[in-house]
Amino acid sequence: MDDYPLLNLFLTMMYVFLWVLWFFLLFKVVTDVFQDHSLGGWAKAAWVIFVIVLPYVGVFVYLIARGRGMGRREAEQAREREAAFKQYVKQAARDEGGTDTGTGHVSDLAKLADLKDRGHLSQEEYEKAKQKLLV
């Protein structure tokens, strides 16, 4: 144990953490290059080559030059994902559990029954409308 003191252990853990952080940044930059639709094919190729040939300089230059846009694109993608999720929830709520269980048009059936009870629909009209809903 005397060959590897506590400070060396701490430094080794810090180096491993920085190494993992570096790869995270590298993958984030390469991913952003390919997701950015404002860049053309040659510009994307140039950035990727720059990041591969001179990785430290390439990533830092990319973060300085395009970091703000990188954050905007990330926020835009988050808003799109949130909007898609909200749309899915609204659709699922509208379906009220889906039509496979027979409960998909409960509110429409309730409205039809109310119209029939008030005398606005005859029994025959009610049955036809109910069949349309259930099919």
Q: Can you spell out the DSSP letters for the chain?
A: -TTS-HHHHHHHHHHHHHHHHHHHHHHHHHHHHHH-TTS-HHHHHHHHHHHHHSHHHHHHHHHHHHHHHHHHHHHHHHHHHHHHHHHHHHHHHHHTT-TTTT-TTHHHHHHHHHHHHHTSS-HHHHHHHHHHHH-
pTM exceeds 0.95 for this model: no
In tens digits, the chain (135 residues) has pLDDT values of: 567 788 888 999 999 999 999 999 999 999 999 988 888 889 999 999 999 999 889 999 998 998 888 888 889 889 998 988 888 888 877 775 554 444 556 777 788 888 888 888 888 888 888 888 777
Residue 105 pLDDT: 67
Residue 100 pLDDT: 46
